[in-house]
Amino acid sequence: MSLTLFNVVLAVIIAISFVGLNAAYLVWCERKGAGLFQRRPGPMENGPWGLLQPPVDGVKLMTKQLLIPGGVDKAIFMVAPVLAMFPALISFVTIPFSENIVAHPIDVGVLMIFAFAALGGMSLLVAGWGSRNKYSMISSVRAVSQTVAYEIPLMITTITVVMISGSLNLGDIVQTQLGGFWHWNIWPLQKQVGFNLLMPFSFLILFVCSVAETNRAPFDLGEAESELVAGFHTEYSSMGFGLFFMGEYANIVIGACLTVILFLGGWACPVGDLGFFPFTHHVGWFLLKIYLIIFVFIWIRWTFPRTTIYGLLNLSWKYLIPISLFNLLLTAGLLKVF
Amino acid sequence: MTEPITLQQDETFVLNVGPQHPATHGVLRVKMTMDGEYIYNAETVLGYIHRMHEKMAENRTYPQYMPNMGRLDYLSAMSFNHGYALVVERACNIEVPERAEYIRVITVELNRIASHLVWLGAYVLDLGGFTPLMYCFDDREQILDLLEAVTGSRLTYCYFRFGGLYNDIDDDFITGTRAFITHFRKELKMYAKLVTGNVILMKRLKGHGPVDQNMCQRYGATGPVARGSGINYDVRRNEPYSVYPDFDFEVPVFTEGDSYARYLVRMEEMEQSLRIIEQALDKLPDGPINPKKKPKLIKPPPGDYFAAVETARGNFGIRMVSDGGKNAYRMKLRSPTYSNMHLFDEACRGMLIADALAFMGSLDLVIPEMDR
């Protein structure tokens, strides 16, 4: 028992550093990526290729004054950024980076991630409510309806995968996909369910939902800067804003991890055990896959204009939910047949 | 999504969009009475950067007033130069040499493209797409470099003189402009592919922000806003001035009246401006750029004079009343976005705030020109 506790504490420390480093350098990657798509170099001033930009930004954020506007509900105002960061950190405890690198393999890992993701949605509501700003309020109401609308197809799609794997444990879900990319859940052909044509669509739905869940462009309606100034974090300065920022990037990493684990085989080598590579099952494959997914996130953000809130909700309720429900039924039927 | 709504007044709240807000691109304030995210009523509040340009005309001599023209519409300052030069030339009967007229047209049209490029970038930014802004400013930079070489300034031009110009263009300018035209034709194709055809963009613009012909006429809207609603009117063609009748160009008109129509009008106008510049460069005559005979002191005879030009945003009219003195008795500036803006209050009722701000962007507002 004490060993488990030690493991968890160690894992949280590692998770914090992993998330912190990731958030800082994902901002750098994001800005470099934006530069790539906009024919400009991006940050170049601090260090070689601007590599020292994240620590410098961090110092700036930490040394700025934390302004609390007059008349806000102080407790709520202060707790919101922590609420944005904390669930994302906790979620890392159950994510298997490879067969052995996992802090605490929980048998209901999938459920836990969703539970904490929902808590993350609450932080937006609390931030908007506590800020005493009309723009923040509109933004948080939007963010909550968006989170609710996109959690449903996300969960239904995940249930489909869970049914195929027969486990809620993220490690076990990866275990069923080992042995080459043709075993991954993204393909229609599965050994458990025979032929399910809807699986690639499920992957797309999951991907779209994780973009929407993390409030990323083109679904960044919570912080639509041309309409709502900066949305729910309009009134936040210094590390209050910094925590929201880190929370956003931590959520992106979680979203990418979930996508990779559920559909892209987790830490599995794409060509299986054919002996081309010395590392068939390795944390490197996992990291490679999540960073590819994150690159696609960045690519989408700097390419598309923003949708509107009704377009977003229509997409979820009218298309994504029916399709994922139908896929759930189909998969259940196929599982019965095979 | 723009159904009219009925509600109790006490369920609304007031949202101040501006005077500092990312979507208003300046110090414009719109007081919106909101019902949730729907706009129940909107009221435009102007005057945050009113600088009394009209009054300044009464205290300055005619040449001294020329720099003011670069400070009204900072994006298409050249057209405003043109309008003022025209009205004084009409009043004093000053002949403009042929070469000067052609150079005027070339610079004005280059400036029009630069202005539309800023609009395109800023508009897609309003819709949440950041990247096109960089591409547009990249292209605009080339125009600014060209114009800087001949006019000496990059934004607030004071290039026109009564009867002529400040500076002649050189061969570098001509080759540079020709190179820009070939380059920009390619860029326009890219914009059409990447921006105009984007699904999200079309969904957000098509059918949103409807402005009909009647509303345009009531508010006196001109320029791309009117042409996007099916009013076939362009000062360059309907009330020709300068050497515009010499050129073969089309006036793009769309009848839909939505944001997408206004978007397409401006995209098409950039292509037409390229055509005009090309023809003007081909026909460019030799000769002086300033008239041989020009009065030392500009003192228009007493009377009432008017001139209008087509700026990037619409009809800029300038009415000058002279009492025969060194400065004008009254100078009335009729700027296009002042009229175009006032559509907004009526047209945005019942819209969602996101659509309303997309609609506001499609009107292409320049606040210093509105407030004067």
**Residue A243, SS3 per DSSP:** helix
Residue of B nearest to A137 (CA): B36
**Residue B53, SS3 per DSSP:** helix
What pLDDT score does B8 carry?
A: 55
- Residues B265 and B228: beta-carbon distance below 8 Å: yes
DSSP codes joined into one string, A34-94: HHHHTTS----SSSGGGTTHHHHHHHHHHHS-----TT--HHHHHHHHHHHHHHHHHHGGG
Domain edges within chain A: 69-337
pLDDT band at B1 (very low <50, low <70, confident <90, very high): very low
Specify the residue for token string 């057209």.
Answer: B79
Residue of A nearest to B1 (CA): A310
- Residues A209 and A156: beta-carbon distance below 8 Å: no
Task: Give A107-119 pLDDT, tens digit per residue.
Answer: 888 888 888 888 8
Q: In what order do the strands lie in the sheet with B38-45?
A: B13-17, B29-35, B38-45
Query: What's chain B's average pLDDT?
Result: 87
Integer-rounded Cα radius of gyration of chain B: 21
In our burial notation (b when 16+ CB lie closer than 10 A, e otherwise), range A48-67 reads: eebeebbeebbeebeeeeee
**Cβ separation of A226 and B128 shorter than 8 Å?**
yes
Query: Nearest 5°: phi and psi at B203?
Result: -65, -35
Residue of B nearest to A312 (CA): B200
* Residues of chain A with C-beta less than 8 angstroms from the C-beta of B18: none
pLDDT band at B110 (very low <50, low <70, confident <90, very high): very high
| B350 has a pLDDT exceeding 50 | yes
Bridge partners of B306? Answer: B319
- At CA B292, angle to CA B290 and CA B296, rounded to 5? 90
Cβ-nearest to A226 among B22, B138, B198: B22
Find the mean pLDDT for residues B282-300. 85
Amino acid at B71: R
Cis peptide before B240 (omega within 30 of 0): no
What pLDDT score does B183 carry?
A: 92
Cβ-nearest to A39 among B37, B134, B201: B134
| B18 has a pLDDT exceeding 80 | no
In angstroms, the separation between the Cα of residue A286 and the nearest Cα of chain B is 30
Going by C-alpha positions, the residue among B135, B99, B128 that lies closest to residue B357 is B128
In angstroms, the separation between the Cα of residue B131 and the nearest Cα of chain A is 6
Q: Percent of chain B, pLDDT > 90?
A: 21
DSSP codes joined into one string, B3-33: ------GGG-EEEEE-SS-TTTSSS-EEEEE
| A283 has a pLDDT exceeding 80 | no
**Cβ separation of B128 and A229 shorter than 8 Å?**
no
Task: Give A52-79 pLDDT, tens digit per residue.
Answer: 888 888 888 888 888 888 878 888 888 8
**Cβ separation of B203 and A307 shorter than 8 Å?**
yes
In angstroms, the separation between the Cα of residue A37 and the nearest Cα of chain B is 7
DSSP codes joined into one string, A271-298: TTTSSSSS-SB-HHHHHHHHHHHHHHHH
Bridge partners of B161? Answer: B164
Residue of B nearest to A218 (CA): B128
Under an 8 Å CB criterion, which residues of A touch B? 34, 37-40, 134-135, 138, 142, 217-218, 220-221, 224-227, 229, 302-311
- At CA A125, angle to CA A122 and CA A127, rounded to 5? 105
Tell me the Ramachandran region of residue B364: left when phi exceeds 0, alpha when psi lies from -120 to 50, beta otherwise. left
Task: Give A122-173 pLDDT, tens digit per residue.
Answer: 888 888 888 888 888 888 888 888 888 888 888 888 888 888 888 888 888 8
- Whole-model pTM: value is 0.85
- Higher pLDDT, residue B191 or A104: B191
Does the predicted interface ipTM exceed a cut of 0.85? Answer: no
What are the structure tokens assigned to B170, written together? 């050189």
Specify the residue for token string 């109401």.
Answer: A141
Q: Give the total residue count for chain B.
A: 372
Between the alpha carbon of residue A226 and those of residues A160, A230, B119, B123, B163, the distances in Å are 38, 8, 15, 10, 44
Find the mean pLDDT for residues B271-294. 88
Task: Give A302-314 pLDDT, tens digit per residue.
Answer: 888 888 888 888 8
**Preferred mutation among A306, A314, A315 to probe B, highest tally of B CBs within 10 A:** A306
Q: In what order do the strands lie in the sheet with B303-310?
A: B303-310, B315-322, B330-334
Amino acid at B262: R
* H/E stretch holding A271: none
In angstroms, the separation between the Cα of residue A205 and the nearest Cα of chain B is 18
Query: Nearest 5°: phi and psi at B13?
Result: -140, 160
**Preferred mutation among A135, A208, A226 to probe B, highest tally of B CBs within 10 A:** A226
If one counts every other C-beta atom within 10 angstroms of the C-beta of residue A254, the result is 25
Amino acid at A44: M
Q: Any CB–CB contact under 8 A between B208 and chain A?
A: no
Domain annotation for chain B: domains and CATH numbers:
53-335 (1.10.645.10)
In angstroms, the separation between the Cα of residue A23 and the nearest Cα of chain B is 21
What are the structure tokens assigned to A74, written together? 């102080």
**Cβ separation of A218 and B128 shorter than 8 Å?**
yes
Find the mean pLDDT for residues A193-217. 79
Find the mean pLDDT for residues A209-214. 83
- Higher pLDDT, residue B105 or B295: B105
Cis peptide before B302 (omega within 30 of 0): no
B79 HSE (CA, 13 A, CB side):
27
Rounded to whole angstroms, the Cα distance separating B69 from B58 reads: 14
* Residues of chain A with C-beta less than 8 angstroms from the C-beta of B12: none
**Cβ separation of B134 and A40 shorter than 8 Å?**
yes
What are the structure tokens assigned to B60, written together? 């300055």
Q: Give the A:B interface size as CB pairs under 8 Å.
A: 74
Cβ-nearest to B203 among A142, A224, A311: A311
Residues 6+ apart with CB under 8 A from B182: none
Q: Any CB–CB contact under 8 A between B15 and chain A?
A: yes
Going by C-alpha positions, the residue among B294, B288, B249, B234 that lies closest to residue B103 is B288
**Preferred mutation among A38, A308, A309 to probe B, highest tally of B CBs within 10 A:** A308
In angstroms, the separation between the Cα of residue A224 and the nearest Cα of chain B is 7
**Cβ separation of A309 and B135 shorter than 8 Å?**
no
SS3 content of chain B, % helix, strand, coil (to 5): 50, 15, 35
Q: Percent of chain A, pLDDT > 70?
A: 91
- Residues A139 and A222: beta-carbon distance below 8 Å: yes
What pLDDT score does B116 carry?
A: 92
What are the structure tokens assigned to B122, written together? 């800023």
Going by C-alpha positions, the residue among B102, B83, B108 that lies closest to residue B280 is B102
Residues 6+ apart with CB under 8 A from A276: none
Rounded to whole angstroms, the Cα distance separating A45 from B345 reads: 46
| B193 has a pLDDT exceeding 80 | yes
